[in-house]
Structure 1
Amino acid sequence: MGEEVKAVIPESLLKRRKRNEEWELAKKQELEAAKKKKVENRKLIYTRAKQYAKEYEAQNGSLKLQKRRELRIAS
């Protein structure tokens, strides 16, 4: 009754399990890196859009001032 029966697992199965674990880990790391890169890219896009809007408003405001001055001079 005190005897333990050990199951013999083929070496090929052990290698396959180890390889699959390594692949899972590599895929998980790639996904994390892609997610981090995506977040950084979104921040960059947001800052560029904000800068563009700021430049557009400045240019649009200066054009309005220029037109007003032209109207005053023409009057």
Structure 2
Amino acid sequence: MATTKIFKSGNSLAVRLPRDLAFGEGVEVSVSREGESLIIRPLRLKMADLVRRLGAPPAPSYIERLALKPPRRTESKGEKG
């Protein structure tokens, strides 16, 4: 179990998370209290944030284009072509 101390940061109190327990710099988290425990959870990404993190889609030159053939017309038993 890692231990750390609470310290003052501006007008707030803060906790420095050990590297092996951190979510990563800039990750938004929710903080809640359950009894004597503080629970820190990463927030789920909104779709816009996910798209921004993934980056732009590949350029069209990298996308394989498929040659689509028109559907073949088949005659049923009662039809004459």
**TM-score, scaled to structure 1:** 0.23
Mark the structure with the bigger radius of gyration: 1
**TM-score, scaled to structure 2:** 0.22
- Indicate the structure whose relative CO is greater, using CA pairs within 8 Å and at least 6 residues apart: 2
User: Larger % of helix: which?
Assistant: 1
User: Larger % of strand: which?
Assistant: 2
